[in-house]
A = this chain, B = another copy of it.
Amino acid sequence: MRDDKDVVTKIVVGQAGRTRGEEVAEAIRNGIAEGRLAGGGRLNENELATMLGVSRTPVRSALATLAADGLLDYTPNSGYTVRRFTSGDIEDIFKVRVKLEGLAAGLAAQNGLSDAALGGMHRLMGETERLIDTHSWNAEIHNTWVDLNNQFHDHIYEAADNPYLIQTIRRANLSLFSLVRFHWFDNVLLRQSHEEHIELVDALENRDVQRAEFLQGEHVYRSGRRIVARWRRMEAMDGEKRISEAGGGRAGK
């Protein structure tokens, strides 16, 4: 926080129907998702307010909201820190995600997807294949894939037609997406993920509820296994780093 002026993006005030509090919440959310606000880091109301060009009031409103969203940890009279995730936490979240994403796919298969949605999914898969055919991997490709992947899942969510389920999934995903780094993946994993999507779409097209639920749950389970393994590795390296940095100050708690 103290060393990077661009930690949160200065908010644009005046967007229709949005308060400054909402804008601040989004700026912080983005800062977390993009890794600029690190797990365990303290959020200082005054600094955020100065950085974003607002008073403390909307900052406090935003912090309260984000804490309830699970992105921040709150201690009364001490303030907010960015939620820190252990590999065990991530594993827990993925177990829940396996069930929820599986349910969403099963409901989508049960309800059926429109021709437009299926067409859209095929287009997204076509674009993913073009990414695969570059035989390369970098941050830009990863971001493109994340975007395509999100659109792919949005089609499923819409067909599932269960807003509470989708809200619950998005909440779980919110916590996770800030943790993922592009260099954990590569073109090979992209291809594997894509092949899983192919099978999932087949199940959806054939309205095979159990297959869709199983395939999507398995897809998420494998993804979770990889991310948890990576996080464990990082924790092992972090643990060594932490031992050497012990006694750093408030954030060291």
Contact = CB atoms under 8 A, between A and B. Distances in A.
Interface of A: 17-19, 21-22, 60-61, 64-70, 76-77, 89, 92-93, 95-96, 99-100, 102-103, 107, 162-165, 167-168, 171-172
- State the oligomeric state as a number of copies: 2
Contacts of A172: 164, 168
A196 B196 CA distance: 38
A162 B18 CA distance: 36
A107 B65 CA distance: 31
A19 to B, nearest CB: 5
Contacts of A64: 21, 61, 64-65, 68
11 contacts: A18-B76, A19-B76, A22-B76, A65-B68, A68-B68, A70-B167, A93-B164, A95-B165, A96-B100, A99-B99, A100-B100
A62 to B, nearest CB: 8
A61 B99 CA distance: 33
Nearest to A168: B96
Contacts of A107: 95
